[in-house]
């Protein structure tokens, strides 16, 4: 059985990040599988994915998932795209699952061991943290990066009551309530929650208050960036992603 499945779902322009997501996760760790859910499959036959299939045969999967309406509480409701990864079960069974963001360039080489240590040392059911909040906030949030034993998340708990709270339009609030329902109140004393690489989010500035984290991973980036294999893959990537790489290079 696969030890760790790094899992995410994406649609729209975010699908351009898929080759970079797969490559960065598989080149840096040897105990992982990568699975990506998409709205429709227009990528498996693309040159960068064919390149990766030759490089990492049987180490990743891209497959269609439901980005449309879900029938809950007698009505059809449309989740926000960021939520789909939290209500979709991976096809590939594994000991652990790391639900991640497709726009993170993974540069860490020890994801699994670090998260298992966090779970074990803090007696947790999963590795994540509660985001800072103020007293006037109606709902608390877990972050969107969620590491868990497969059996502690799947099958996904009935979330019909959570939908009545209107949380199908907020992924992190939904995740908080889902984990609260399954495992009780999340532990707010745990503060360890890394991003295992550079987060090239279109919604963040590279050097803003909440930034891409380029400075943290600069040494690893140089090694990763200058490898012969990555340069070959880069030629096949979209112009949109190439522009993101230039921003990192120029930082």
Fold exhibited by the domain 2-250: Spore Coat Polysaccharide Biosynthesis Protein SpsA; Chain A (3.90.550)
The predicted model scores a pTM of 0.96
- From residue 52, alpha-carbon distances to 10, 62, 232, 234, 237 in Å are 19, 12, 11, 12, 12
Instruction: Give yes or no for a contact between 220 and 13, defined as CB atoms under 8 angstroms apart.
Output: no
The whole-angstrom separation of Cα 4 and Cα 15 is 22
Residue where the block lists tokens 């708990």 = 157
Spell out the per-residue pLDDT of the chain, length 251, in tens. 999 999 999 999 999 999 999 999 999 887 899 999 999 999 999 999 999 999 999 999 999 999 999 999 999 999 999 999 999 999 999 999 999 999 999 999 999 999 999 999 999 999 999 999 988 889 999 999 999 999 999 999 999 999 999 999 999 999 999 999 999 999 999 999 999 999 999 888 898 788 999 999 999 999 999 999 999 999 999 999 999 999 999 98
Instruction: Give yes or no for a contact between 107 and 196, defined as CB atoms under 8 angstroms apart.
Output: yes
Domain boundaries, the chain: 2-250
Q: What is the pLDDT of residue 171?
A: 97
The whole-angstrom separation of Cα 79 and Cα 171 is 9
């Amino acid at each position: 059985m696969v030890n760790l499945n790094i899992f995410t779902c994406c649609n729209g322009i975010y699908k351009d990040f898929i080759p970079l997501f797969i490559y960065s996760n598989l080149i840096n760790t040897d105990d992982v599988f990568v699975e990506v859910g998409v709205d429709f499959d227009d990528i498996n036959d693309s040159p960068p994915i064919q390149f990766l299939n030759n490089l990492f045969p049987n180490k990743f999967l891209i497959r269609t998932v439901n980005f449309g309406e879900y029938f809950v509480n007698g009505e059809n409701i449309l989740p926000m795209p960021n939520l789909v990864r939290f209500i979709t079960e991976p096809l590939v069974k594994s000991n652990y699952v790391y639900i991640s963001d497709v726009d993170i360039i993974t540069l860490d080489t020890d994801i699994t061991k670090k998260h298992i240590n966090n779970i074990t040392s803090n007696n947790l059911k999963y590795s994540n943290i509660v985001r800072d909040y103020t007293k006037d906030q109606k709902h608390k949030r877990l972050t969107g990066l969620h590491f868990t034993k497969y059996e502690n998340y799947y099958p996904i708990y009935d979330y019909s009551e959570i939908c009545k709270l209107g949380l199908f339009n907020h992924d992190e609030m939904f995740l908080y309530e889902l984990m609260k329902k399954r495992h009780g109140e999340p532990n707010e004393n745990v503060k360890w929650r890394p991003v295992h690489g550079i987060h090239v989010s279109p919604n963040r500035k590279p050097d803003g208050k909440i930034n891409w984290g380029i400075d943290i991973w600069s040494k690893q980036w140089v090694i990763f960036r200058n490898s012969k294999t990555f340069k070959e893959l880069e030629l096949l990537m979209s112009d949109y992603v190439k522009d993101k790489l230039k921003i990192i290079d120029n930082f």
